Structures are given as C-alpha cells and as structure tokens.
Amino acid sequence: MNTFKRIGWCETKIVEWLDVSVANLTCTSYWVAYLQVIQEAVWPGGALPTEPVLERSQQEKDDTRQQALHCLMRLIPDLLSDMLGSDKYKLSWQTALDSLQDPYINRHLVYCIFDLLLEFLVPEIPEEDFQTSLLQTLSKNPEKLLA
C-alpha cells in the first residue's frame, strides 16, 4: 500500500510540474523572449547575414550535442531519473536527440508546431465557414495567393 501512495505522490508532483511548465511556456513574457531569440537567429543585429555561416567542425557539433543532452537531463526533476535509473534516463534523452538529427523529422516537427501555433492564434481555422470565406477572399485577390 505504501508503494501505491508513493506512486500517487510522484504522479501528483509530475502533473504539478507539467502544469507549471506549460503555464510558463505559454506565458506572454516567455513568448516575447522566444520570438526575440528567433528574430536574432534569423536576422542577427536586425539584418540578414551578408556572408554564409561557416560550417561547424565535427568537434563543435559533438560538443553542442553533449551540451544539449546535459541541458535536457537537467530539465526534468531528478525523481524521474531515479525511477528509470540514470543510464536508462540518459539513453532516453540520447534517443530523442538522435531522432532530431533527421531533417525530415525536423521539417515535420516544425510544420506541426506551426500548425498548432496557427490553431492557437486563429481558433476559427478548423471551421468550414472560415475556410470557405478565406478561399473566396484569396481567389478574388490572386496576387495574395502568390505572396
């Protein structure tokens, strides 16, 4: 019976942690920070780069991958690491990171995130009336279709 109480406590703590994390992720001030980071990544200093970015060495890529793994492992409370065991926990994060090395998976992930963001910002998108109205508006202005 004591084990079930501990599992219930763990579940409650994980749900609380997820609630706080999701609330922080969707907080307006965080979105401002996210957009500023994206803007700086795409337009460093407010302008498009004039020169191509130099190719990173394999050592730099490996160092970045290890740093990302370390950050991800610190992301979730130690409780989960203790439950899975440190080797299994590290292997799980390593597998997640490895899957993000595939450009097709990354492209799909970006499309899914963009789709969710659009649905969040424009909740009318799934409605058939909205889609019909949007198509009619765009078909009246063909230059908008090409933009």
How far is Cα 121 from Cα 116, in angstroms, rounded to an integer? 9
User: What angle (nearest 5°) sits at the alpha carbon of residue 36, between those of residues 114 and 70?
Assistant: 80
Q: Residues 62-74: pLDDT tens digits?
A: 999 899 888 888 8
Q: Residues 34-70: pLDDT tens digits?
A: 888 888 887 878 777 777 878 889 999 899 989 988 8
pTM for the model: 0.47
Report whether 83 contacts 10 (CB < 8 A): yes
How far is Cα 111 from Cα 109, in angstroms, rounded to an integer? 5
